[in-house]
Amino acid sequence: MRFDSLQFVWFCLLAVFLLRTAGVGWYRNALVAVLNFYFLYSFSFSPVALVPIVIFVAMGYVAILVAKRTGTSSGIGIVLAVLIAVFAWLKHYSVVVFLPSLDFPYATIGMSYMLFRMIHLIVDVAQGAMRTPSPLAYFNYTFFFLNLVSGPIQRFQDFAAQSIQTRVKDSPEEMRLALVESHYRVLYYHCGVLLYFL
């Protein structure tokens, strides 16, 4: 699913409708997980192509638990080094070209954004700035389909607060400003694509 396709627009509209009508609790979190999985799956050839990225993100959750248990800066550093090394190996960076690679095609879409989000959680949880998120909240935050569009610059605390919010109370003026801002973002994106091909 390309970001500039009509399929992406329809997917986003459906996601907004479903999330606005969903209640709070496990149903909403499960719905976000289904939307995230479908969006990620749209970039792969088969379910097997998603296995490496799912294992990578699961390693991030284990890294959070290990970093919290150690609590030392050296423990956090080791956990981050291992996670970044696995990231570099999966992305086939030249630093690790001597290592054997997986012999099947797999999805790597958004892995950089996911890594940044995992690093944020590892550091904040290990330093006691926040509690360890539940596995479902962690996977929803890491795989959230809009982070591929907006980037990783959203803290887990903000994401978690928005995920339990029952209803957004937008005034007509706030909605107008949001539409204008999104219009300019789309225009900026298309200008960037055009400049890329020129």
Instruction: Write the CB contacts of 129 (distance below 8 Å, at least 6 apart in sequence).
Output: 123
**Which residue from 47, 28, 62, 44 is spatially nearest to 138, judged by alpha carbons?**
62
User: What is d(CA 113, CA 53) in angstroms, rounded to the nearest whole number?
Assistant: 12
Task: Report the alpha-carbon distance of residue 122 to residue 81 in Å, rounded.
Answer: 12
Q: Is 157 helix (H, G, I), strand (E, B) or coil?
A: helix
Specify whether the CB–CB gap between 29 and 144 falls below 8 A. no
- Output Rg (C-alpha) for the chain, integer angstroms: 18
Give the per-residue pLDDT at 178.
64
pLDDT of residue 158: 72
What is the pLDDT at residue 198? 46
Residue 171 DSSP label: -
pLDDT at 169: 57
The pTM (predicted TM-score) of the whole model is 0.72
Each of the 198 residues of the chain gets a pLDDT tens digit; together they read 666 678 878 888 888 888 777 777 777 888 888 988 888 888 787 888 888 999 999 999 999 999 888 878 888 889 999 999 999 988 888 777 778 887 777 877 788 888 988 998 998 898 888 899 999 989 988 888 877 666 656 667 776 776 666 555 566 677 666 666 665 555 555 455 455 554
- How far apart (Å, rounded) are the C-alpha atoms in residues 38 and 46? 12
